[in-house]
Chain A
Amino acid sequence: NAGVTQTPKFRVLKTGQSMTLLCAQDMNHEYMYWYRQDPGMGLRLIHYSVGEGTTAKGEVPDGYNVSRLKKQNFLLGLESAAPSQTSVYFCASTNTPLGSYEQYFGPGTRLTVT
C-alpha cells in the first residue's frame, strides 16, 4: 500500500515551458486535491476533484489545469510556466471532506521556474 505518490519529485522549468505533475493514490479515495505551498502562505488549494471525471477550481486555479480520467490518478498541468509558479506542490486524497476523515498527502513536487 503506497498511499499517495507524486511524480516527479523535483523539476526545473524555463518560463513558458509546460509540464504535468502526476498524483496517484491506491486507497480508493473519491476526493483528490492539489495544493501549493509557499513560504509564509500555508497550503493553498489549486484544484480538486470529488470523483472520477470531475474537477473544480480552488483558491488559486489560474495558470493550472487538471484532469481526473481515472479514479486513482489526478493530473496537474502547467501550460506555460511562470516564475510565480515556483513552489512546492502537494497532492492529497480523502474518503470524504466531512467528519474527521484524514487527508493523506503525497511527498510533494518541488518546482522551480527560471
Chain B
Amino acid sequence: RKEVEQDPGPFNVPEGATVAFNCTYSNSASQSFFWYRQDCRKEPKLLMSVYSSGNEDGRFTAQLNRASQYISLLIRDSKLSDSATYLCVVNPNTGNQFYFGTGTSLTVIP
C-alpha cells in the first residue's frame, strides 16, 4: 500500500467554483502534513501546512481527519491562477523522510 494516495484528477472547474481534494495516508503515527503546489515544469512550493485543528489561508482551507487518515484541501472562488498540480505530503514520523502523493491536477476554466 502506498504511503500517500491522491486522486490524480484532472479536475476542470469554472472560475469562481469551489473545489476540494482529498488525500489518504497509511501510517496512523504520521505527524506532519502539507499541501504543495507545483506549476507545469516548475519545482513544488509550499501552499500550506495542515494542522490538527484545521487552518485557513484566504481562499484555501486545509483539514486533517486523523480517524479516517485523510487530509483535504478546499479552494473557494477558484481563479485562473489556481491552475496547477496540488501535491499532498506526509511525514510519517518514522524517520527523516517525506512522502509525496502523485498529485491532483486542477485546471480553472474561464
Mark A residues whose CB is within 8 Å of B.
31, 33, 35, 40-45, 48, 50, 56, 58-59, 90, 97-100, 102-103, 105-108
Dominant SS among interface residues on chain B = loop
- A102 in contact with B97 given A40-B8, A42-B103, A43-B87 (CB within 8 Å): no
Q: Is the CB of B42 within 8 A of A98?
A: no
Which residues of chain B are within 8 angstroms of A107 by Cβ–Cβ distance? 42-43
Rounded to whole Å, the gap between the CB of A33 and the closest CB of chain B is 8
Rounded to whole Å, the gap between the CB of A84 and the closest CB of chain B is 18
- A58 in contact with B43 given A42-B103, A100-B49 (CB within 8 Å): no
- A31 in contact with B96 given A98-B91, A100-B51 (CB within 8 Å): yes
The CA-CA distance from A90 to B44 in the complex, in Å, is 9
| Residue of A41, A59, A105 touching B44 (CB-CB under 8 A) | A105
Which residues of chain A are within 8 angstroms of B21 by Cβ–Cβ distance? none
Dominant SS among interface residues on chain A = loop
- A102 in contact with B46 given A41-B102, A42-B101 (CB within 8 Å): yes
Rounded to whole Å, the gap between the CB of B105 and the closest CB of chain A is 11
Rounded to whole Å, the gap between the CB of B99 and the closest CB of chain A is 8
The CA-CA distance from A105 to B44 in the complex, in Å, is 7
Write 9 A-B pairs (CB below 8 A) sorted by A numbering.
A31-B96, A42-B102, A42-B103, A43-B44, A102-B34, A102-B46, A103-B89, A105-B43, A106-B43
The CA-CA distance from A106 to B42 in the complex, in Å, is 9
Give 9 nearest A-B pairs by CB, closest first: A105-B43, A100-B49, A42-B102, A43-B100, A102-B46, A42-B100, A97-B96, A105-B44, A107-B43
Rounded to whole Å, the gap between the CB of A39 and the closest CB of chain B is 9
The CA-CA distance from A33 to B49 in the complex, in Å, is 19
Which residues of chain A are within 8 angstroms of B91 by Cβ–Cβ distance? 97-98
B32 within 8 A of A: yes
Rounded to whole Å, the gap between the CB of A17 and the closest CB of chain B is 24
Q: Is the CB of A48 within 8 A of B96?
A: yes
The CA-CA distance from A90 to B41 in the complex, in Å, is 11
Rounded to whole Å, the gap between the CB of A99 and the closest CB of chain B is 6
